[in-house]
Amino acid sequence: QKEVEQDPGPLSVPEGAIVSLNCTYSNSAFQYFMWYRQYSRKGPELLMYTYSSGNKEDGRSTAQVDKSSKYISLFIRDSQPSDSATYLCAGVTGGGNKLTFGTGTQLKVEL
């Protein structure tokens, strides 16, 4: 079993929709949870991260972590075609900086 599981998609939504991206994880030692966005032929770029449980909001995006169910979510409101990319979730243990990634979900926002 992979430590971080993520549905690969693709997920297609109309412009303006609310997007929900999700991951589950199995490593109870994860303390930080990250969301990266990766455009085609580019390196991943950090969108946001949360420490432990709870929510974090940044612009149109909200990240949620539920440690009791080992569930990570990223919500994107008012989705735009420029949001079309692959979204990668990752967990990090408190003792180091090694990221363990999910496989990524491909998102397409259509006009």
Partner 1 sequence: DADVTQTPRNRITKTGKRIMLECSQTKGHDRMYWYRQDPGLGLRLIYYSFDVKDINKGEISDGYSVSRQAQAKFSLSLESAIPNQTALYFCATSKPGTAEAFFGQGTRLTVV
Element spanning 19, H or E: strand 19-25
What is the C-alpha to C-alpha distance for residues 105 and 35, in angstroms, rounded to an integer? 11
Residue 14: asked if its preceding bond is cis (omega within 30°), the reply is no
Q: Which residues lie closer than 8 Å to 67 by C-beta, 6 or more apart?
A: 52, 53
| Residue among 17 and 38 whose Cβ is closer to partner 1 | 38
| Residue among 39 and 78 whose Cβ is closer to partner 1 | 39
* Interactions with partner 1, residue window 71-110 (CB under 8 A): 88, 92, 97-104
- Per-residue binding letters, 39-78, with partner 1 (x by CB under 8 A): --xxxxxx--x-x---------------------------
Footprint of partner 1 on this chain (CB under 8 A)? Answer: 6, 8, 32, 34, 36, 41-46, 49, 51, 88, 92, 97-104
